[in-house]
Amino acid sequence: MNTGLLSQLLEVLLALWLAPLLTGWVNQWRAWLQNKSAPSLLQPYRKLHKLFHKEPVLAEHASPFYRMAPYLVFGAMALACAIIPSLSTDLPLSPAADAIALVGLFALARVFLSLAAMDVGTAFGTLGARRDMLIGFLAEPALLMVLFCASLLSQSTSLTTIVDQFAHRQFAIHPSLALAGVAFILVSLAENARIPVDNPATHLELTMVHEALLLEYSGRHLALLEWAASLKLFAYACAGLALFFPWGVADARSPEVLLLALPVLMGKLAVSGALLALLESVSAKMRIFRVPEFLASAFLLAVMGMLINILLGA
């Protein structure tokens, strides 16, 4: 139990600490791939530091809900990071929420953020909220299907059980998991507001999705939301790595592996961050009405994975 508590604590702290670093790492690769000199790896921390020291400016008719939303979103993302077995499967918090609850947690954050964006009544907030909902309602079923694929293989919806089983069985390539993996990448791009679905670096108000939701936020509220966005990316990266590349994750039987799990995770995150930047650099942003097609393919791939699992048992 003590090691469990330790690994749980370590995971949450690590997520909070590493998430901006991952964002900085992706940004650095994006710059390198465009032949530009990159900003410092620590730039996201500096930005958070700056924002936390700035006075938040609120719209006159903003309701208390608008002020609450950043904390709720941040809390949801921190909790999501806590239940994903990135370092260890020995997590006391994990029985509290399974794979389905994880999807629900992301949905909760999205609903709060969209409502807050509409709360101040600016055109861009409403525009962004509408688009975010369009993306969300298509991405969530696809994500659920991906997680069901993994659940079918391990006969459980608990994330720790799934990862535990995947990590400790003989290496085999499951066609269903391969399809689910591709679907997961598509969903992650959409959910994390990355190119080709959204452009995190844009300054064009009319094309924004995620940025439009944050447009009216400032000071510590904006800092929390930016941090939450980093946490979300981190959570998705960890979830993907835990499901599809689970090797090196510690468990209750061998807590000493925890020492090794950290460098392994950092290595895996570094590679996936660079690949994400590569994927973003070679693509252009798609028209917003192509997003349903994009996410429908993700859904289809995940469903095909499940069918293969059910029909062929592979």
Partner 1 sequence: MDLLPGLDLRCNRLPAPLPQWHGQVDAPSWQTAARAVRERGGRLVSLWGSPEAVHGAYRLPEGLLWLTLPLDPAARCCPDLSPVFPAAARMQRAMTDLQDIGITGATDSRPWIDHGTWAGHSPAGEYPFVRVTGDGVHEIPVGPVHAGIIEPGHFRFSVVGEKILRLETRLGYTHKGIARRFRELPPLEAHRLAGRVSGDSTVAYAWAYCMALESAASCTVPQRAQWLRALLLERERIANHLGDLGALGNDAGFAFGLAQFSRLRENLLRLSQQLFEHRLLMDGVVPGGVAHDLAMEGQDALLAQCTMLSGEVAELQEIYEGHAGLQDRFIGTGRVPPPLAARLGLTGLAGRASGMANDLRCDVACPPYDRLTVRIATHRNGDVAARVAVRFDEIFESLRLTRTLLDTLPSGPHRVPVPMPEQPALGAGSVEGWRGEVFVALALAPQEGQAVLRDCHCHDPSWHNWPVLEHAVMGNIVPDFPLINKSFNLSYSGHDL
Q: Which residues bind partner 1 (CB under 8 A)?
A: 30, 33-36, 123-124, 127, 130, 195-196, 199, 201-207, 215, 281-290
Q: Which is nearer to partner 1, 108 or 134 (CB)?
A: 134
SS (H, E, C) the chain: CHHHHHHHHHHHHHHHHHHHHHHHHHHHHHHHHCCCCCCCCCHHHHHHHHHHCCCCCCCCCCCHHHHHHHHHHHHHHHHHHHHCCCCECCCCCHHHCCHHHHHHHHHHHHHHHHHHHHHCCCHHHHHHHHHHHHHHHHHHHHHHHHHHHHHHHHCCCCHHHHHHHHHCCCCCCCHHHHHHHHHHHHHHHHHCCCCCCCCCCCCCHHHCCHHHHHCCCCHHHHHHHHHHHHHHHHHHHHHHHHHHCCCCCECCCCHHHHHHHHHHHHHHHHHHHHHHHHHHHHCCCCCHHHHHHHHHHHHHHHHHHHHHHHHHCC
Q: Which is nearer to partner 1, 29 or 112 (CB)?
A: 29
Q: Which is nearer to partner 1, 85 or 196 (CB)?
A: 196
Q: Smallest distance from the beta carbon of 288 to partner 1, in angstroms?
A: 5
Q: Smallest distance from the beta carbon of 216 to partner 1, in angstroms?
A: 12
Q: Which is nearer to partner 1, 152 or 279 (CB)?
A: 279
Q: Smallest distance from the beta carbon of 11 to partner 1, in angstroms?
A: 34
Q: Smallest distance from the beta carbon of 295 to partner 1, in angstroms?
A: 16
Q: Smallest distance from the beta carbon of 263 to partner 1, in angstroms?
A: 32
Q: Which is nearer to partner 1, 127 or 224 (CB)?
A: 127
Q: Smallest distance from the beta carbon of 293 to partner 1, in angstroms?
A: 11
Q: Which is nearer to partner 1, 29 or 74 (CB)?
A: 29
